[in-house]
Structure 1
């Protein structure tokens, strides 16, 4: 919805992005399970991503900078 607008507009895409984005990561996970090797993207990466998003939200609410380490250690 545009600022000040009263109509909600839902975007439509011709292609579905989820399977394409999901396939490579899931394939890496399956290979890692079979070989015992660490996948290129693992849970630690995902925790850092969530911590980054949380740092952005908290920083906006409290008007200060948060580091990923601050969020991860909380």
Structure 2
């Protein structure tokens, strides 16, 4: 795997995690360390892939409670 491929994989994985966690900050920072030195990169949120269409939607806990469902979040 090339450095570029590894970086792309990391950005994709972290951006997917960000899509699941609203408190994550919404940006990706990477650091590559090799014999040539240290390289830091910053990927702002508007450059990251959007995953909202690919992530399966779930009912919110408030919706479940409002509907009186006795088994919240059971599929």
Give your verdict on TM over 0.5: no
Greater length-normalized contact order (CA 8 Å, ≥ 6 residues apart) = 2
TM-score by length of 2: 0.30
Q: Select the structure that is richer in strand.
A: 2
